[in-house]
């Protein structure tokens, strides 16, 4: 482990001890807000310090075992070699864990997400694949005990979706799904294709961290709110009243709609939830653009103009283009088994961040 990282770890250990003393100060304990801030920092540093102390103990143990390699007894030397090999393996694992703990955390990681799936090029086939992707994410959410609530949908007569927007709530949803934003390409023979030709269609996926009202302030004067009668598939149950809501955010031109609920009030609340998520995403994009002027390679830029995935049905092939991952188990992936893919993406972007020196440089 390089010296710069060791210095950071030693500083973290010193700060952890300092916080322990501060929290024992009666004046600090009497100030609830200050005490909670210190307690939060103490707990976060505690995870780093615990590993660091284990690491230092491990280095001492390796040093002791290496000393035994000079012994005259061959059996003792053999045991020492085995011990050094095992401890060195543990050292490497701990080093990686420690470096990862120093990476700057994404403040949105523990948030719920607003998932937006839209049919791109390909007409009905793209809309059908949009439905397939929504089902895939819903199944993945189910395996993680996350809750899925549809906020808005525009179904097609063929069973697909021109657009479907859902809120996914649970622990660490954004942390797991944030790499899904982008263009997803499907290659398959449509049901309507009589000559068996393979068609290529695209669907765009956007994963937006759910925005709290305090994070995105919306001036009511900046909103144009229209109400109208719901129509189309799924809307017949409310099409006799003006329950559907369309909200236009005048400064940005963003339009959100919802007609799924019978209540105009509920439809408005859902449309506002989507609007806040999109406005927060704009803020995030601006911050990332500012960072990109300093370094062009970023984690999670959310650039949806690039194709990130290909789902090839004739070959049963799934390809994640950003990391060169190809799996020949497309059916399993579409059943919501995304863990291997998401883990690989997370490892890739963590490695990139470490290569840029973010872990060692940020403080």
List the single range of 12-16, 215-219, 243-247, 295-299 with lowest mean pLDDT: 295-299
Distance separating alpha carbons of residues 151 and 207, to the nearest angstrom: 14
Express each pLDDT in 119-144 by its tens digit. Answer: 999 989 999 999 999 999 999 999 99
Residue 106, SS3 per DSSP: coil
User: Which residues sit opposite 318 in a β-bridge?
Assistant: 311, 327
pLDDT confidence band for 357 (50 / 70 / 90): low
Distance separating alpha carbons of residues 269 and 151, to the nearest angstrom: 10
pLDDT confidence band for 145 (50 / 70 / 90): very high
Express each pLDDT in 18-57 by its tens digit. Answer: 999 999 999 989 998 899 889 988 998 998 899 999 999 9
Write down the pLDDT at residue 355.
67
User: Which residues sit opposite 188 in a β-bridge?
Assistant: 199
Distance separating alpha carbons of residues 246 and 223, to the nearest angstrom: 10
pLDDT confidence band for 100 (50 / 70 / 90): confident
Distance separating alpha carbons of residues 276 and 218, to the nearest angstrom: 8
Question: How confident is the model over 341-349, as a mean pLDDT?
Answer: 89
Write down the pLDDT at residue 359.
47
Express each pLDDT in 310-328 by its tens digit. Answer: 999 999 999 999 999 999 9
Provide the mean pLDDT of the chain. Answer: 85
Nearest Cα to Cα of residue 202 among 281, 261, 119, 139: 119
190/362: higher pLDDT: 190
Contact 19, 38 (CB under 8 A): yes
Question: How confident is the model over 252-276, as a mean pLDDT?
Answer: 86
Q: Which CATH architecture has domain 113-210+318-355?
A: 2-Layer Sandwich (3.30)
Contact 51, 94 (CB under 8 A): yes
List the single range of 212-226, 243-257, 285-299 with lowest mean pLDDT: 285-299
Question: How confident is the model over 206-235, as a mean pLDDT?
Answer: 76
Express each pLDDT in 291-312 by its tens digit. Answer: 455 434 333 333 344 689 999 9
Distance separating alpha carbons of residues 360 and 114, to the nearest angstrom: 33
SS3 content of the chain, % helix, strand, coil (to 5): 50, 20, 30
Residue 66, SS3 per DSSP: helix
The 3 state secondary structure assigned to 116-157 is EEEECCCHHHHHHHHHHHHHHHHHHHHHCCCEEEEEEEEECC
Report how far apart, in Å, the C-alpha atoms of 209 and of each of 65, 73, 170, 203, 308 are: 49, 62, 12, 20, 20
DSSP label at 40? H
Residue 94, SS3 per DSSP: helix
pLDDT confidence band for 193 (50 / 70 / 90): confident
Write down the domain spans for the chain: 3-101, 113-210+318-355, 220-284
Residue 77 has pLDDT above 70, yes or no: yes
Write down the pLDDT at residue 358.
55
Backbone angles phi, psi at 362, to 5 degrees: -80, 145
Q: Which helix (H) or strand (E) holds 64?
A: helix 32-67
Does domain 220-284 fall under CATH 3.30.160.20? My reply is yes
Question: How confident is the model over 335-348, as a mean pLDDT?
Answer: 92
């Amino acid at each position: 482990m390089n010296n710069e990282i060791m210095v950071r770890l030693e500083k973290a250990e010193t700060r952890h001890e300092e916080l322990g003393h501060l929290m024992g100060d009666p004046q600090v304990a009497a100030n609830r807000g200050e005490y909670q801030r210190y307690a939060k920092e103490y707990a976060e540093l505690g995870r780093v310090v615990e590993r660091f102390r284990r690491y230092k103990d491990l280095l001492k143990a390796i040093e002791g075992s290496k000393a035994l390699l000079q012994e005259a007894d061959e059996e003792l030397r053999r045991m020492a070699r085995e011990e050094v090999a095992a401890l060195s393996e543990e050292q490497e694992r701990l080093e990686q864990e420690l470096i990862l703990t120093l990476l700057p955390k994404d403040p949105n990681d523990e948030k719920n997400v607003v998932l937006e799936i839209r049919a791109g090029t390909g007409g009905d086939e793209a809309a059908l694949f949009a439905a397939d992707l929504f089902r895939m994410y819903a199944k993945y959410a189910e395996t993680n005990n996350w809750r899925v609530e549809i906020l808005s949908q525009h179904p097609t007569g063929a069973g697909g979706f021109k657009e479907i927007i859902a809120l996914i709530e649970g622990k660490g949803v954004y942390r797991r799904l944030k790499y899904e934003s982008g263009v997803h390409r499907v290659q398959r023979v449509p049901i309507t294709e009589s000559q068996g030709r393979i068609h290529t269609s695209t669907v765009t996926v956007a994963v937006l961290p759910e925005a709290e009202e305090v994070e995105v302030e919306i001036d009511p004067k900046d909103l144009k709110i229209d109400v109208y009668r719901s129509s189309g598939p799924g809307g017949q149950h409310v099409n006799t009243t003006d329950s559907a809501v369309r909200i236009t955010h005048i400064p940005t031109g963003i339009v959100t709609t919802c007609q799924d609920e019978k209540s105009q009030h509920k439809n408005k609340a859902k449309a506002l939830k989507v609007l806040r998520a999109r406005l927060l995403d704009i803020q995030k994009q601006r911050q990332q653009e500012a960072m990109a002027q300093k370094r062009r390679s970023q984690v999670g830029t959310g650039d949806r103009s690039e194709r990130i995935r290909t789902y090839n049905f004739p070959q049963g092939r799934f390809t994640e283009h950003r990391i060169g991952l190809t799996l020949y188990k497309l059916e399993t992936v579409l059943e919501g088994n995304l863990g291997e893919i998401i883990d690989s993406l997370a490892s890739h972007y963590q490695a990139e961040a470490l290569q840029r020196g973010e872990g060692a440089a940020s403080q």
